[in-house]
Amino acid sequence: MKFATLTFILTVFAVTLMARPSNLAAARISVKIAGFEVNCRDTRGNRVQLMKVSDLGDVGRAWVVAGVPFIVMDTELLRTLPAKLRLFFYGHECAHHVLGHWYAKSGNSELEADCWAIKDARDRNLFNRDDVSSFAPFFARSRGTRWGHLPGPERAKRLLACYDEE
């Protein structure tokens, strides 16, 4: 386990143990990603907290620590991406919480999260088809992941197919 990951888990666990329920309930409902106001609630209706870190080793991750859902995003990697792609990655991690992947993994959880993020942004008029097409060069060299992310060119095509679905 990477040092940054272990540090994050221990920090969140400590903060969660020390926090009074009223403090957790008063946490911000929305945050800004790439200048856009965003918020996320998990499948159980709980607010998903955002934590920004560096050296995560990935753009973002969805975690639940001591019963508190989190989206963790790497600020250093985010800075290298266009605004709409940053918004997509936030939506992808939010989707894992919304769809309950933390509690019941499916073999298609990464594909489901991708599709949910694209459709949600489309339906809220945050993305148009050209925005989604513009993601392709950023995925081009990706070979996919063992967790189920498609290789880059396939993922880019799948994102467009999701955009076009009802």
The owner of tokens 């489901």 is 112
The predicted pLDDT at position 143 comes to 78
The owner of tokens 């907290």 is 49
The predicted pLDDT at position 12 comes to 52
pLDDT band of residue 92 (cuts 50, 70, 90) is very high
The predicted pLDDT at position 30 comes to 65
Could you tell me the residue range of the domain that residue 88 belongs to? 3-164
Tell me the H-state helices in the chain: 3-18, 21-25, 75-78, 83-98, 109-123, 129-133, 136-139, 152-164
The predicted pLDDT at position 28 comes to 46
pLDDT band of residue 20 (cuts 50, 70, 90) is very low
- Over its C-alpha atoms, the chain yields an Rg (Å, rounded) of 16
Total domains in the fold of the chain: 1
Task: Report how far residue 13's alpha carbon sits from residue 138's, in angstroms, rounded to the nearest whole number.
Answer: 34
Residue 29 has pLDDT above 90, yes or no: no
Give the three-state DSSP class for 44: coil
Residue 6 has pLDDT above 70, yes or no: no
Task: Report how far residue 25's alpha carbon sits from residue 140's, in angstroms, rounded to the nearest whole number.
Answer: 41
Give the tokens for residue 124.
């809220």
Q: Which of 137, 134, 127, 129 is nearest to 161 (CA)?
A: 129
10 Å Cβ neighbour count for 58? 15
10 Å Cβ neighbour count for 1? 7
The owner of tokens 């073999």 is 107
Average pLDDT score over the chain: 84
129 and 83 Cβ atoms separated by less than 8 Å: no
